Amino acid sequence: MTIRVLFFGMIAAKLGRHEWLLPISHEITLAEVIEQVGCSECKPLLLAVNQQQVKDRTTIIRANDEVAIMPPFAGG
């Protein structure tokens, strides 16, 4: 089982990757995903699960979910 973790902007630049297929053996929390991909120190941080923005880091992430780890938006 894997989850797809996407990185954008300066976070992708810092990690040197835009995507990480993260293997999981069971459901984990969003906070655990952030830790496992090395983003615990990334601040500020915006988060989305399956393209829906979420703030609660206790959100449960399941196999095949898509998690986005994003810096503050800067469009326009």
Partner 1 sequence: MGSRVRIQEEDFSIQTEVEALRSCSKRIGGIATFLGCARDFSEGRDVSSISFEQYAGMAEAALQALREEALAQFDIIEASIIHRVTRVHAGDQIVLIIVGAEHRGPAFDACRWLIDELKKRVPIWKKEITPEGDTWVTEHP
Q: Which chain residues interact with partner 1 by CB under 8 A?
A: 6, 8-10, 13, 46, 48, 51, 68, 70-76
Tokens matching residue 17 = 């990757």
Nearest CB to partner 1, comparing residues 6 and 22: 6
Closest CB to partner 1 among residues 61, 70: 70
Nearer to partner 1, 23 or 47 (CB): 47
Minimum gap (Å) between residue 66 Cβ and partner 1: 10
Burial class (CB in 10 A: 0-12, 13-18, 19+), 38: exposed
Whether the CB-CB separation of 46 and 71 falls below 8 Å is answered with: yes
